[in-house]
Amino acid sequence: MRGPHNFWRLVRTGATFERTGAMHVVLEAMNAPPRLRFAARIMGWPFRFLGLKGDPDLPPLVRALTALGPAYIKFGQTLATRPDVVGPDLAEQLRYLQDKLPPFPRAQAMQVIAEDLEAPVDSIFTDLSEPVAAASIAQVHSACLVSTGAKVAVKVLRPGVERAFRTDIDAFYFAAGMIERLLPSTRRLRPLDVIAHFESVVEGELDLRLESASAAEFGANTKNDAGFSVPQPVWAYSSRRVMTLDWAEGVPLGDNAALDALGLDRRELGVRILSLFLRHALRDGFFHGDMHQGNLKVTATGEIIALDFGIMGRIDAYSRRAYAEILFGFIRKDYRRVAEVHFEAGYVPADRDIDEFARALRSVGEPIFGMDAQHISMARLLAYLFEVTERFGMETRTELILLQRTMVVVEGVARSLHPEINMWHVAKPVVEEYIRDHIGPQAVARDLIMTAKIMSRFGPRLPRLVEDALIAQAHIDKPAPPARRYGPLVWALFGAGFMGLGVALGAFL
């Protein structure tokens, strides 16, 4: 599917932007130089008639993205959280993409529910409403369970959305491959790997069984987080294309007027959402990867409710430590340590000069921290850092793409609540707490104990390992130097001793 025919899709994308007027909007938002604007118009105008028309009642960029399909809508949802990048007016227009897209008919949703749950809809739900929210991949209805009378949210995939997403992703793969071939300097950015990462995220979002599992895990991790809650899935009535969740009542986090009417402190809400995101990423290694305003509600008492668990991020323990140390180094302006972490983690090639890299990082950090709160931006920091890492041959880390993107989105959400929130002031206590608990003598002792516990699980296999080592030694025809000849036996006995220690420590702990 990833053949040259995808070139047509890319041409159609540019033509759609030109036909809807979105090209001019994008160039204005980028503050593109006159030459680039002129070139874009000259190249786009001949193909204008090939573009999709879209809904003429919508603003140009929203019109283009909705016409092009779900993958493009996802991109627009991210931009909606960045008024500092695209401007407040354009960000407000793009919020339409978060939960106000045209719904599909209720009758189609009922057909999907009946097919997937293998039962008549009225035997499971009563009062199934018209759609209460519609996004790029699914829409939500309210209903009550026949069995208990409890109010629930019923999420149903859009018919044909799986095929539409795969069509877009094919075109993205084609574009990434062309970029790698035509611009070899971009290979360090691993565009094909980036698209593969995006594809894996989307595949998870298109199977609502996985989303139900994510909601359950996320709820278990965060059950003790004050001022935060996660609706839990009703497993009996959830499937690949249908997900049933506890109903969550609240106002959208992006509705500042409604929040003010409830008398809630918007600055405190912004600080809390930033702190919670960082805590989930660092403490749990499992975080909500799509935390825009459309996926967050606030109750009358100020509790934040997370919704839509199709995109979740996971980070291993080592990457969390590296990420925390990088953030902590920037916060403390310890650029040498930030550079060391990049080298230790293998993010920067070992043959580069660490002192020069530290100096380059200082050139990134100092201008950022010299700004007032309204101009300090995670997006700007990542942009500057991208320029530096390009010079030092740093490859794209696909495992951190979602984390970095979500941090930018969450910062945008917090800024929409209160423009003067300082990301770094909020991050400092959270990162310090993580550093204190996970880096230092206590953390080393805990890691050793964990290693011993894992080694102890191999206890039942020790006799066979030792026997195999002895048999292997008996079949060696040619004598070898002592260290080499008895190596397998020595290592087997050493392993046995270490595993025995692990068993003792495991039992003691």
Q: What is the mean pLDDT of residues 323-350?
A: 86
How far apart (Å, rounded) are the C-alpha atoms in residues 212 and 215? 5
Tell me the per-residue pLDDT of 481-498, one tens digit each, with 9 for 90 and over: 554 444 444 444 444 444
Query: Which range scores top for mean pLDDT: 66-75, 368-377, 491-500?
Result: 66-75
Q: What is the residue whose two structure tokens read 């090639």?
A: 349
CA atoms within 13 A on the CB side of 70: 24
Kindly state whether residue 104 falls inside one of the protein's structural domains: no
Statement: residue 309 has pLDDT above 60: yes
Residue that wins the pLDDT comparison between 132 and 177: 132
> Does the annotation count 290 as an active-site position?
yes
Can you give the residue range of the structural domain that contains 83? 6-99
Computed over every residue of the chain, the mean pLDDT equals 79
The reply to whether 394 and 467 lie within a common domain is no
Kindly state whether residue 469 falls inside one of the protein's structural domains: yes
Structure confidence at residue 289 (pLDDT): 85
The two tokens of residue 113 are: 């529910």
The reply to whether 391 and 452 lie within a common domain is no
Residue closest to 253 by CA, chosen among 472, 79, 439, 81 = 81
Kindly state whether residue 151 falls inside one of the protein's structural domains: no
The reply to whether 176 and 79 lie within a common domain is no
The reply to whether 315 and 457 lie within a common domain is no
Structure confidence at residue 376 (pLDDT): 58
Kindly state whether residue 53 falls inside one of the protein's structural domains: yes
Residue closest to 194 by CA, chosen among 422, 396, 25, 4 = 396
Residue closest to 371 by CA, chosen among 425, 435, 323 = 425
Tell me the per-residue pLDDT of 245-280, one tens digit each, with 9 for 90 and over: 999 999 999 899 999 999 999 999 999 999 999 999
The reply to whether 193 and 300 lie within a common domain is no
The reply to whether 426 and 456 lie within a common domain is no
The two tokens of residue 76 are: 């627009």
Task: Provide the domain count of the chain.
Answer: 4
The reply to whether 369 and 265 lie within a common domain is yes
Tell me the per-residue pLDDT of 26-61, one tens digit each, with 9 for 90 and over: 777 656 667 766 766 666 677 777 888 888 888 898
Query: In this structure, how many other beta carbons lie within 10 angstroms of the beta carbon of residue 407?
Result: 25
Statement: residue 134 has pLDDT above 90: no
The active-site residue, picked from 265, 290, 353, 447, is: 290
User: What H or E segment, with its residue span, contains residue 134?
Assistant: strand 133-134
The reply to whether 363 and 448 lie within a common domain is no
